[in-house]
Structure 1
């Protein structure tokens, strides 16, 4: 059962129009979504979703974009792609760091802050997909490795970010739909670790109310997270979560503070319900039928 190519993805249910690729309302070129003057940091941005997020913020005119990851060759390749999309004034940097090593994370972010100043937008994207196995047969050490890759890395990243955050800081946490959807057999380690990460980030937000936090399911993207030889076909284009993150960091999306959203959801329809979403428990993870 460890071959993810055999994983059967369900048909998702949505209360808004469904998007699988970028569209005009979340286009980084929109003046209302400008990231001018903002210093952006994206973890796990050597490839895939993190790279797409960094490119989108470059298109939106961020003051600086710094990408973090373990593999220098991937980071350098990503820098080339980001630079080709960036405005002339945008500074593009990279720092190699193993996010499971707190000292490496502290050192990397300290260097970033020294180079560009306070960090305005932090995208916590780095993570890993665990082997596909039923709970009854899962190797305990392998199961717990998922928590190191998805929880410890996030803990180190957000703890290091907070002292270096700007005056109006934004944390965009790349989560997973499996934190609140029906179980998919074989996905227990990944789902459990991403759910733990989500709850940790929720506590972090509650303890730091000045921080604007949004949790995002980025869609199903065919990236390296599925493995180099995977035959899994993505349902969504990688640019979708990239552009969606730019919108989430804009003033237009401030009503989503503390919420969980899917990149596939339609922005105009979300905006129509902005007051309702902001003032009620909508788009939060909890126990259905109990308002607590």
Structure 2
């Protein structure tokens, strides 16, 4: 996995909220900061055996998480990824466990959480990273079956995972932290138009979590949706992209940003959507923070212009 630029601070596009506009990790989101510590916590990452999910798992181990559980559909790849994460863990006491789970299968998700309950495993942080990227076809050409298949993975599975996470029986795990790996397709209409079933279902998932957040305090379950930006993963290569397609982000940027989203510093973003390229120091203070505090609908799913 490579990036077209290793610069952390690059000229900000006209449509971003902050300057600088980051393409690589920077000190404020370093997992080694005590303020971002995940010491003693168990973290569950869906689709964590490759790409952005793997980078997120690496960052949580760097933040001293005690246990990382990654899920994937392929047994060998998931097992090998967990072994690699454990071997490379910066935290000597940290370990990664790979569990086969197809989130497109509701029974498999139930079995996953029943297994946690049976073995006494409580999850402190849930990262929703598994996704189905629908074909680049108009909705009516894709057909109801394919569109509904995307809904099954990108909406139903996410809601099922969140419900099981929220209602788990282990006591004392407060606050819980939920990080939703979303996409800028939920607000960039050109991207959504290219893969409409993807934009539709990811938008629905972000709205669902936004609605859950309005009825759940961050002291109980903190919820933040993040756009991971463009990362040249194997899945991106499989979709036909290469190093020349974009100025790719370092995978460690969304990886470490996810840790920041699961920290107390990000509590003010509960129920909102944020880009990982935005500078957290600017977001935490000044005009952006002021608008967040004053406008309950800012950085949320809705209709532009109303």
TM-score after normalising by structure 1: 0.88
- Given that 1:150 and 1:193 are in contact with CA atoms closer than 8 Å, whether structure 2 keeps it comes out as yes
- Rounded to whole Å, the distance in 1 between the matches of 2:163 and 2:91 is 30
**Secondary structure at 1:95's aligned position in 2?**
strand
| Uncovered stretches (5+) of structure 2, i.e. residues with no partner | 1-12
**CA distance in 1 between partners of 2:124 and 2:265 (Å):** 17
Secondary structure, counterpart of 2:146 in structure 1: helix
Q: State whether residues 134 and 187 of structure 1, in contact with CA within 8 Å, keep that contact through their aligned partners in structure 2.
A: yes
Pair 1:200-2:208 in alignment? yes
- Aligned pairs for 1:265-280 (under 5 A) are 265-273=278-286, 274-280=289-295
Structure 2 residue aligned with 1:225: 235
Task: Tell me the matched-pair count.
Answer: 280
CA distance in 2, matches of 1:277, 1:119: 29
2: CA distance, partners of 1:58 / 1:225: 23
Question: What do you get for the CA RMSD once the two structures are aligned?
Answer: 2.1
Does residue 24 (structure 1) correspond to residue 27 (structure 2)? The answer is: yes
Q: Which residue of 2 aligns with 1:8?
A: none
Deviations 1:22-74 (A, max 9, x none): 11111111222111121111101011111111110001001211111211122
SS in 2 for 1:219: coil
In 1, Cα distance between equivalents of 2:281 and 2:147: 40
Q: 2:256 & 2:117 partners in 1: Cα distance?
A: 25
Offset of 1:144 from its aligned partner?
Answer: 2.4
Matches for 1:1-292 after TM superposition, within 5 Å = 13-16=15-18, 17-83=20-86, 84-115=88-119, 117-135=121-139, 137-164=141-168, 166-184=173-191, 185-209=193-217, 210-226=220-236, 228=238, 230-233=240-243, 235-273=248-286, 274-281=289-296, 282-290=298-306
Specify every segment of 5 or more residues in structure 1 that has no aligned partner in the other structure, as ranges.
1-10
Q: Comparing 276-285 with 40-49, which one deviates more in the overlay?
A: 276-285
Q: 2-side partners of 1:113 and 1:50: how far apart?
A: 24
Aligned residue for 1:132, secondary structure, equals coil
